[in-house]
Amino acid sequence: MKNKLAIYTKLALIAKLKEISAMGFVPNARRKNSGGIGNTLEDLLGIKENNLPIPNAAEWELKAQRLNSTSLTTLFHVEPSPRAVLFVPQIFLPVYGWTHEEAGKKYPKGEMSFRQTIHGKSRSDRGFKIVIDRKERKILISFDAGSVDSRHKKWLELVKKHVGLGEVNPQPYWGFDDLEHKAGTKLLNAFYVQAEVKKERGKEYYHYTKVTMLQKFSFEGFLKALEEGKILVDFDARTGHNHGTKFRMKQDCLPMLYRDKQIIL
């Protein structure tokens, strides 16, 4: 179903989403299943991409995801401060890195790897964790040698040889103000639509059953999600390439990041 580009008031959009939900399961509008939930909903609404054309209102986005998904979605990329230090290539890879599993095969013999997904709820098996210092208004990356799993004993010995077993020095961080601005520009007001998914003869079908209207980004909600392990910081680097430091979120936790939440369906 394709329409000319539609313009909606919020009330008209809510009515249309309720109408789409009442349709029950609808076929994926794309040949491939990847991204089908959002693409199919956009076609049903007659819009392009995920920007909602709501006049006389702050920018809105359409967020469509499958119900009960355990996958992560990337919020944004941002490297830690102080910016004078390139932490991933200058400290994490040479000091805290380990030999890449493809070193001497796919990559050069000396290729190093630093892959860690960390949050504020508990430490990783290599002793890394996010620590939020509300007094100093910083989100810090912390290392504790005493928390390293025994499987990484040889790696820890190398860390000790390189730099000792104390805290990362200088300690990398993100300032509250910088990160709040970064997150606030990425996390616009949103209609958050979740769908049940079924597959028949290799084709996906979606039933859009849950709609929440989300307004006003909450940085305190963002910090809480980090502390509870709902938002994770992901490092994925090797000697030859740094994929960038990502803030990623468990998909069903998006409402935590907004002050105003209104359940539509």
Q: How confident is the model at residue 22 (pLDDT cuts 50, 70, 90)?
A: very high
Mean pLDDT of 68-88: 90
Mean pLDDT of 57-63: 76
Mean pLDDT of 54-81: 83
C-beta separation of 207 from 194 below 8 A: no
Q: How confident is the model at residue 2 (pLDDT cuts 50, 70, 90)?
A: very low
* 106 Cβ neighbours under 8 A, 6+ residues apart: none
Q: How confident is the model at residue 149 (pLDDT cuts 50, 70, 90)?
A: very high
Q: Is 49 or 163 the better-scoring residue by pLDDT? A: 163
127 vs 21: CA distance, rounded Å: 46
pLDDT in tens, 83-118: 888 999 999 999 999 999 999 999 999 999 999 999
DSSP 8: -
pLDDT given for residue 1 in this prediction? 42
C-beta separation of 209 from 194 below 8 A: yes
pLDDT given for residue 3 in this prediction? 44
pLDDT in tens, 175-234: 999 999 999 998 989 999 999 999 999 899 999 999 999 999 999 999 999 999 999 999
Classify strands 189-200 and 60-66 as parallel, antiparallel or unpaired.
parallel
C-beta separation of 183 from 56 below 8 A: no
For residue 17, pLDDT over 90 is answered with yes
The rounded mean pLDDT for the chain is 91
Residue 52: closest CA among 16, 92, 100:
16
Element (H, E) at 133: strand 128-133
pTM: 0.88
CA distances from 80 to 39, 86, 149, 166, 174 (A): 34, 8, 25, 19, 5
**Class of residue 134 by CB neighbours under 10 A (exposed 0-12, middle 13-18, buried 19+):** exposed
Residue 95: closest CA among 151, 166, 173:
166
- If you compute the radius of gyration of the chain from its CA atoms, what whole number of angstroms results? 22
